[in-house]
Amino acid sequence: MDTRTDVAALTASPTDVRPALSTLKPQPLPEATPQTVSRRITTPGLASGVVERSRLTAVLSGMLHTHQVLAISATAGAGKTTAMVHAAAHLPDPVIWLSLDRGDTDPWRLLTDLETAMATQLDTVRGICAAARPRQATRDVAGLLAEAAHGRPLVVVFDDLERLHDLDPARQVIGGFTRFAPPSLRIVLISRRNIIDDLDEKLPPGFLATIGDTELAISTEEAATVLGRNVEDLADVNRIVDAHGGWITGVLAEARQRPGSAATGPARDLTVFYTKHIMPILDEDEQRFLIATSLLTQVTADAARELGQTDPSSLLAHLAAKPLPVSWSQAGQIMRAHPRFRDYLLGRLAGSAEEGDLRSRYGGLLLQEGRRDEAVQQYIKARQLDRAARSAREAIDGEIDGLRFDVAEQWLELLHTTDAPSTTLSIAEFMVAMGREHSARAAAIGDSLGLLSETAPVDVTSRHETPLDGMLAWAYWQTGRLEDARTILSLRPSDRTVQIAAAILAFSSDAAAPLPVPIAPDGGPYDGMLMRVHYFRGFLHTILSATFSSPWARAMGVSVQASALRASGQLDRALEMFQAAGDDDPGSVWLQVVAGPDLFLDLGRRDDAFAQLQKARELAAERGSIPNTLLTQVAEAKLHLRLDQDAPAAMATLEAMRPQATSYPFVLEIADMWAGYAQLLLGQDEDARRRLTAAVRSMRRGDRMLELPTAAIYLAEAEWRCGREDAADRAADLALTAAARHGSNHILLQALDDVPAVLSRRLDAEPERRSAWHALGRSCRAHSRIRSAGPTHRVVLKDLGQVSLTVDGTAQRPRIGKSLELLAFLRQQPTAEAARSQVLDALFGGRANDSTRSYLRQALYRLREVLPEALAPRTEGNRILLPAPDEVTCDSLTVCALLDQGALLHGEDKLSALRAALELAAAGSYFADSDSEWIVGRRQELADRISAAQLSAAELAYDLGHFVDADDLVEAVLREDEYQEEAWRLSILTANAFGDSQTLVRRYRCYRSAMEQIGVGPSQDVVELFERLHQT
């Protein structure tokens, strides 16, 4: 079909209502054509590297296909001309381009330029202007030029039409040309203003299409393409796009100023652009209004009136009609300047004579809205310090409670310049120091408050009914002033806050203090302190089940929860929480000192672990905390031992810290534990036994169970080496008991990884294969595999059930099915790589010939097609590898990770992990439609693990009293394999739990029948179980 004929047919109807111009015959006048510069009638060229936005090209082309006139009206720099140039290259019809300049304000000059431009495609227009001048009206002559294109498909583009604003004769030329255009003629009007209103022409319905700033705004994805950014940079690109409201000139200008930008072209000074191209379209009152109201994030007439602006409703209405880098809502009632344009306007406001008065008025408006903290900032900028101080005094407690310590510190500095010293200010400073965990500063402020005195005034001892004594005791304890800490608590009647502080101080004694419970969700610093006590005493499950509602409790609680997640082996969640925490939140010092080094050690990230240790050491010293400094030295020794097996380096660190650690037994006992392990590595077994015995005794006396599983396992090894086998067994059993408090075996299994002979000896001594030690043995293999791949993955291969691939949230389908098998095979390798021969063996059953090698190349190529370049497999020599395996996951790997995670946990947590794994596994078998040899083997391996997990979950559900769940799970096991004796045993137990004697008998008979089918009789254990249950 002829596209041009089709377009003409679509637009034939509107032309029926236009007046005919056939009666307007050109008059034979002398030719008087003005000189026209050829560049003005040529389609503009674009700078090299300008990337076409295909979405916009399609929109413009589509509108010209269905409408005769297209008006593109938008802000300067919105990309109007560029978009139309790109679209013009795709249009089927010739394009005539006329860029207007100042000379076109003369209507005859404009007509002559238009005739010259059209003559490049239509000889019939030559001489029309000369023949008509000066007898005929310019509007009619424009109509003659338009009608000359009758039957000839053309597109005429008028660019820079804003130059004709307020010039009625020139506007009439464009209006007449548009009004009398024949169906074959398409017209594009490009302007910074609403050109249709300027033309004052009544166009037929369906005749006109319009495009504005909204359609021209660049999206994040387009910006990333234009700038040559990777997907990883999308967040940064999105921030730039939002800052300019999608205004493409601003986006490109800012992006080009960023280091490493791939954007081409010169960086543009936006200040100059705004000054030259945006502000001149406004009159003085409009400019003044924009600058004055730039203080407001959203401008309304009422808010502008509060700033002293006159007739704001009228000014907003005028501004709404002009192309500005702003957005509007509620039918033009609310204006929001794009962030960078607002920055420009604020820059114009800065230093002006009106700034102080405007900021003062804005401060008053903020107070009315309850935004006192922002009001203080405005009063300070307005240099009205008395008003700022008055507001600060009333609001500083709210800033501290909201953890906005930077703001609070600024206000305290202000109040010190305006107010006399007072206890109120000192208390506020003390709370900021506590929030930042600056122990030395908090202790010094506490001294100034005089809380060590028995006659301390009541108003000094509390803040919002929260006693300060316990917090100050904590600060004194952190700075080594143990006697002062005990003294201050002795001066106050015992209550919950004193008990919490006393539990902290008990870390410097051999005895355990009573543990206040529960943790209050809306608590403040005291509940944060309480969670730390829970941590070292090993109540990990209590910590992880706690919820928080207040900012203080949440910030301090999150830091301890991250540590508890790490200690329970939930490394992905711990890392996510660690990375999300703010550097200045309460608890951030704990997070960096206690959680950080251990987390990166457990993740196997050696460089990060040592870097985090250095950061923690500096932070602890800067904040004046002796216990935290000691803990960093313990962490250093731990890294030497677990990463390098460097016992001499660890011993040197531990011996250097020992004198100072005597005041903090909770640190000393951990140091002795690691020293004992180092001595085991050095073969100093008797010395290790003595050191570890002291560590275990101290931990038990203080009820500090966090590291007791580790210390007891090391002690078991030392006792055995010294010939004390019974003592070795007792120590090992103590480790198992201590781990039960954790609700996780992670720490216990780490210790067993260090001295695996302890587990081997206990397994040999346990005849019952259902013992806790046998369960640990099954967990050890899984534990050695646990590492974090990060909480999110860009590539997800669903390899259970219906196989599919998702990349960055979008479904992808390689053209060759083997491509997905290749991805799965590489990802399951320990290092995500394999030799080419190994891949051929796996995917093609060992057939390594020209055909299979070619097929492998095709599978690799098709896989690269659907993956981002940074994630696509590549070849290095004779090996094929995934460059970023942590970004790729498979459902089968997730199932295995959940099963591994469940092996570390206890109780309900373990059951939840197993259920999650089984739910995911229920999607189907591994690569169900493939029969590759390695897939068949992997399928069976997964099936065996899932079956074992079903039985384990069933046993656990039964132990927890979830009899219905247990019965469902064990029935699923028996449907897959009716010869599992342990499953039949549990099935009989669940029948008894329901009190169903008939089902009990039936299941026992089914069990006997299944055993007979494989030629074995029922075990004596099951027979005795049935007889006992049946008799009752």
pLDDT digits (tens, 9 = 90+) for 691-712: 999 999 999 999 999 999 999 9
Nearest to 411 by CA among 364, 444, 376: 376
pLDDT value, residue 312 = 92
pLDDT value, residue 457 = 54
Mean of pLDDT values over 338-367: 90
Give every CB contact of residue 537 below 8 A, 6+ residues apart in sequence.
512, 515, 703, 704, 705, 706
- Cα distances from 243 to residues 79, 326, 344, 872, in angstroms, run 17, 11, 12, 33
Structure tokens at 594: 């206690």
pLDDT value, residue 762 = 82
Q: What is the CATH number of domain 353-419?
A: 1.25.40
Is residue 56's pLDDT more than 70? Answer: yes
Helices (H) and strands (E) in the chain, counts: 54, 16
The amino acid at residue 444 is A
pLDDT one-digit tens code per residue, 817-836: 888 989 989 998 888 898 88
Is residue 966's pLDDT more than 90? Answer: no
pLDDT one-digit tens code per residue, 504-563: 999 999 888 888 777 777 777 888 889 999 999 999 988 888 888 778 778 888 889 999
Residue listed under structure tokens 């609310």:
334
The answer to whether residues 560 and 533 touch, using CB atoms and an 8 Å cutoff, is no
Is residue 462's pLDDT more than 80? Answer: no
Structure tokens at 729: 């067994």
Give the pLDDT band (50/70/90) at residue 199: low
Give the pLDDT band (50/70/90) at residue 1016: confident
Backbone CA torsion sign across 549, 551, 555, 560: negative
pLDDT one-digit tens code per residue, 725-742: 999 999 999 999 999 899
pLDDT value, residue 718 = 96
Element (H, E) at 208: strand 208-211
Mean of pLDDT values over 870-893: 87
Three-class DSSP category at 1024? helix
CATH topology agreement for domains 3-216 and 353-419: no
Is residue 461's pLDDT more than 80? Answer: no
Is residue 70's pLDDT more than 90? Answer: yes
Three-class DSSP category at 889? strand
Nearest to 960 by CA among 888, 897, 911: 911
| Domain-wise residue ranges, the chain | 3-216, 220-268, 353-419, 421-493, 556-785, 792-937
Give the pLDDT band (50/70/90) at residue 713: very high
Is residue 715's pLDDT more than 50? Answer: yes
pLDDT value, residue 410 = 80
- Cα distances from 1026 to residues 741, 969, 973, 1022, in angstroms, run 34, 20, 20, 6
* pLDDT greater at residue 365 or residue 902: 365
Mean of pLDDT values over 228-242: 67
pLDDT value, residue 769 = 60
Is residue 928's pLDDT more than 90? Answer: no
Mean of pLDDT values over 334-354: 88
**Which range, of 48-52, 245-249, 689-693, 750-754, averages the lowest pLDDT?**
48-52
* pLDDT greater at residue 202 or residue 416: 416
- Cα distances from 192 to residues 77, 78, 96, in angstroms, run 9, 9, 20
Q: Mean pLDDT in the chain?
A: 83
pLDDT value, residue 166 = 64
The answer to whether residues 378 and 360 touch, using CB atoms and an 8 Å cutoff, is yes
Q: What is the CATH number of domain 556-785?
A: 1.25.40.10
Give the pLDDT band (50/70/90) at residue 402: confident
The string over 734-755, giving b where at least 16 C-beta atoms fall within 10 Å of a residue's C-beta and e elsewhere, is bbbebbbbbbbbbbbbbbbebb
pLDDT value, residue 256 = 63
The answer to whether residues 516 and 530 touch, using CB atoms and an 8 Å cutoff, is yes
Structure tokens at 261: 């930008």
Mean of pLDDT values over 39-66: 82
Is residue 845's pLDDT more than 60? Answer: yes
pLDDT one-digit tens code per residue, 360-397: 999 999 988 888 878 888 888 888 888 887 877 777 77
Residue 327 dihedral angles phi and psi, to the nearest 5°:
-120, 155
Tell me the C-alpha distance between 821 and 826, whole Å.
9
pLDDT value, residue 474 = 92
Query: In percent, how much of the chain has pLDDT > 90?
Result: 26
Nearest to 354 by CA among 285, 307, 300: 307
Mean of pLDDT values over 833-861: 83
The answer to whether residues 442 and 485 touch, using CB atoms and an 8 Å cutoff, is no
Residue 732 dihedral angles phi and psi, to the nearest 5°:
-65, -40
Q: Which residues pair with 157 in a beta bridge?
A: 97, 188
Nearest to 706 by CA among 868, 996, 512: 512
CATH class of segment(s) 3-216: alpha beta
pLDDT value, residue 588 = 84
Nearest to 142 by CA among 184, 111, 106, 166: 111
